[in-house]
């Protein structure tokens, strides 16, 4: 993630409603982050758009009546990072198990 900004004009909606702009990001981050944040019970709305295919911008909207949108975004990014770390760890362990089993199989057949 290269840069993040808040879209102008959200100040009147309170701290719970914000649109964040991610530069050089697309559907991969947008969909994964939306899936995580939309499941939080305190979130009323969460979604994203790519305003134009030639622009490398992701507009990410969070609305909540209970919590600050920036705090929900931070929590979502931390939860996404933890999910990615867990996925990489499980994948690495399974690859090691597979390679070890494959080596044993080759040794048994020789």
Q: Tens digits of per-residue pLDDT, 56-94?
A: 899 999 999 999 999 999 999 999 999 999 999 999 999
Radius of gyration of the chain (CA): 20
d(CA 96, CA 1): 30
Q: What angle do CA 44, 79, 67 make, to 5 degrees?
A: 35
What's the burial of 22, exposed, middle or buried (CB within 10 Å: 0-12/13-18/19+)? Answer: buried
Q: Tens digits of per-residue pLDDT, 49-63?
A: 999 988 889 999 999
CATH number of 3-108: 3.30.1360.10
* Confidence bin at 2 (pLDDT 50/70/90): low
Q: Tens digits of per-residue pLDDT, 9-47?
A: 667 778 999 999 999 999 999 999 999 999 999 999 999
The structure tokens listed for 69 are 């949108």
d(CA 38, CA 44): 8
Tell me, yes or no, if the pTM score tops 0.85: no
């Amino acid at each position: 993630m290269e840069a993040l900004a808040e879209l102008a004009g959200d100040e009147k909606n309170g701290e719970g409603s914000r649109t964040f702009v991610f530069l050089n990001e697309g559907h991969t981050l947008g969909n994964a982050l939306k899936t995580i944040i939309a499941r939080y019970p305190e979130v009323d709305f969460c979604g994203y758009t790519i305003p134009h295919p030639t622009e490398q911008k992701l507009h990410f909207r969070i609305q909540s009546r209970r919590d600050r949108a920036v705090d929900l975004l931070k929590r979502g990014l931390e939860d996404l990072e933890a999910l990615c770390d867990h996925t990489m760890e499980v994948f690495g362990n399974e690859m090691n198990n597979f390679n070890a089993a494959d080596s044993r199989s080759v040794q048994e057949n020789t």
